RNA sequence: CGAGCGGGCUACGCGGCCGCGGCGUGCCACAAGCACGAUGAGGAAAGUCCGGGCAUCGCAGGGCAGGACGCCUGAUAACGUCAGGUGGAGGCGACUUCAAGGAAAGUGCAACAGAAAUAGACUGCCCGUCGAGUCCCCGCAGAAUACGCGGGGCGCCCACGGGGAGGACCCGCGGCGAUGGGCACAGGUGGAAAGGCGAGGUAAGAGCUCACCGACGGGACGGUAACGCCCCGUGCCAUGUAAACCCCGUCCGAUGCAAGUUUGGGAUGUCUUCAUGAAGGGUUGCCCGCCCGAAGACAUCCGCCAAUAACGCUAAAGCCUAUCGGCGACGGUAGGCGUAGAUAAAUGGCCGCGCUCGACAGAACCCGGCUUACAGGCCCGUCUCGGAUC
RNA sequence: GGAGGCAUAGUCUCAGUUGGUUAGAGCGCGCGCUUCACAUGCGCGAGGUCACAGGUUCAAGUCCUGUUGUCUCCA
C-alpha cells in the first residue's frame, strides 16, 4: 500500500499545532484526520550524524508501513525520542499501540 | 624463528520474502497507476585546507594595496600536490622526517638573571710609580717664629728575610691600598657571552703564531641544478628571531551551482541623459584608465506566487587491460567499459546459514590533491637487524 | 550545499598593547564589619587545563597548522 510523503513546512506546522499528540515509550505520534494518508518523520541533528539519522528514518518508515492501510486517513508525524539503541521491533510495537489507542486501526490479534 | 621497515589490496558473505530512488520497456491519447528488467554511496562521500573545470559580473588595461608560496630538477590542466635528487635532524640498520630563500638592505624585539645582551670593562690578570712630614719641642747658626744642620716626640699600610750597635734607616720578596697604563684568558647567570680545542708565545694576554675542525673568499673538477669534492688563500666583521615588520623571486580579477538560465508579466507616476563634455552607473578594496548611452533606474498598485517547476545535473584533464618510453611521478599507442543523480532528499526490514561477529562513516555541480576518522583481514619485497641450524 | 566569525573565572558580561615575567574588571559566590534584623554600604578571600592537540620561538592567552563546539549570512 502506497502512502504519500508529507513535504511542505506549512502542512507540518499545521499538523503540529492542530493535530493530536500521543506519546509512547520510544516515540511521539502526531496525527490529523485528512482525505488521504500521508506521513513524515522528524529526526533532528541531535540524533547524530547522517548515517545514524538515516537509519532511524528507515526504521520508522518501515515500521509505519506495516500498519497500512489505516482505518481513518490521516496526516501523521513520527518523532522519535532520544535513545542509545534503536530497533525495528520497538518502533513497530509502539506505533501499533499508539494507533490502537487513538482508534485509527482495527485491533489486531 | 623473532623483531622491524616500506608498499599495495579489501571494507562481512550467501539465500528467501516485503519495500525505496531515478532509468528503460510494455499496458495507456498523455499523466497517474500497474507489471517486468537492469541499476543504485565512500576510501575517506567528511573537514572545506589548496588547485582547476564550469557559470555570472559591461573583468580579461595599468599601478598601489592585499594574499599565497619559497633547496634543485621534473610531472601536471593547475596546485601549497606528486616523483626523483640535494642539504639538515633522527635511527645499529632497512628507512623516516623537515613552511629548507635572505639576518654584511633597513627597522623592531631579546623579559628575568648577569659585570656586560649586540655592546662593555665591574671584579680579575699583568707592568710602572707612590705609600708620605705645609706637625710639635730643644740645641747650633741666623735679623728671624723663615731656611739649613743635629737630637727628641708623634705619625709614617702589613708580614717575612738580609744589612746594621740600634731604630719604621737601607735593600729584597710577597701581600694591601692609591694612581697611570696594557689585556680581553677567568667570573654563580643566560636560549644566546665575540669561532672551538690543543700547543707555542707573552709582563699578562689575545688567531699574536701553528696543527686539526668550523667560517668566509677564490679557483679546478663532477653534476642540467640544488650541491659535492679537492686545492689555494684570509686569522676570521660580528648572536637569535623573518609561523615580527620587511627584502628578493614566482603566482593570484571577483563571486560561487543557494553561481546562473527559462517559464514570467501589466498599469501609473517620478527622475536622469541623448554632438561633445560634465553628471550618473558599471568595472576588485583604492587610484588612473576604460565601458554604457536609447532607453535606463526607482516608487506604488494589480496579477501570479516561489523555500515552486524545468534546465544547470552528470560522458569525465573518466575507469580497466595490454604494450612502449621513463629510476619515478607520468606520458604515448591499441582494445574494452559507458558507471547514482535525489530535492522533507533513495540502499532498509524480517527470517535462515556461515565465520574471524563486521571499524570510521552516507553522494547533493564535477574533477586533482591535502588533512582528519577508522575494527580487522590478506598479499608483496635481490628490504633491515638479531638469534639458531646446515 | 556554500561563505564567514567566535571560544578567557561560576552554563554570566567582557578586558588582556608589538609575544615578556603575576591573566584582570564588573555582576555573582564565601567570610567578616555595620544593623535589633534585613537591604544598602565597607573590608577581605576563594575561584582559570586561556576549547583541544601539535609546531615556530629562549619564551605562546597572543604567531602558524589541524581538531572540536557554537553563532551568523547566502534563494
- Assess contact for A19 and A31: CB atoms under 8 A: yes
The CATH code of the domain that includes A70 is 3.30.230.10
A106 within some domain: no
Q: Could you tell me the distance in Å between the CA of residue A91 and the C1' of nucleotide C8?
A: 46
pLDDT digits (tens, 9 = 90+) for A7-48: 766 677 777 777 888 888 888 888 888 777 788 888 877 787
Helix (H, G, I), strand (E, B) or coil at A29: strand
A45 within some domain: yes
A20 within some domain: yes
A88 within some domain: yes
Q: What is the average per-residue pLDDT within A61-76?
A: 82
DSSP 8-state assignment for residue A46: G
**pTM of the predicted structure, to 2 decimals:** 0.75
Report which secondary-structure segment, H or E, holds A11: helix A9-18
CA A28 – CA A15 distance, rounded (Å): 13
Q: Could you tell me the distance in Å between the CA of residue A77 and the C1' of nucleotide C3?
A: 34
A28 within some domain: yes
A107 within some domain: no
Confidence bin at A108 (pLDDT 50/70/90): very low
Q: Could you tell me the distance in Å between the CA of residue A104 and the C1' of nucleotide B143?
A: 159
CA A17 – CA A34 distance, rounded (Å): 15
CA A68 – CA A75 distance, rounded (Å): 13
What pLDDT, on a 0 to 100 scale, did the predictor assign at position A1?
43
Farthest-apart Cα atoms in chain A, separation = 38
Question: In which domain, by residue range, is A20 found?
Answer: 4-101
Provide the number of structural domains found in chain A: 1
Which nucleotide does the CA of A8 lie closest to, via C1'?
Answer: B344
ipTM: 0.81
A108 within some domain: no
Amino acid at each position: 500500500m502506497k502512502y504519500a510523503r508529507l513535504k511542505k513546512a506549512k502542512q507540518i506546522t499545521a499538523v503540529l499545532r492542530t493535530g493530536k499528540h500521543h506519546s509512547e515509550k520510544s516515540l511521539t505520534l502526531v496525527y490529523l484526520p485528512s482525505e488521504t494518508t500521508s506521513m513524515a518523520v522528524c529526526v533532528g541533528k541531535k540524533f547524530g550524524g547522517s548515517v545514524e539519522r538515516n537509519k532511524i528514518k528507515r526504521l520508522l518508515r518501515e515500521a509505519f508501513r506495516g500498519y497500512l492501510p489505516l482505518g481513518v486517513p490521516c496526516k501523521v508525524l513520527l518523532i522519535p525520542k532520544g535513545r542509545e539503541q534503536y530497533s525495528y521491533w520497538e518502533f513497530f510495537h509502539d506505533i501499533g499501540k499508539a494507533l490502537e489507542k487513538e482508534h485509527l486501526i482495527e485491533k489486531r490479534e
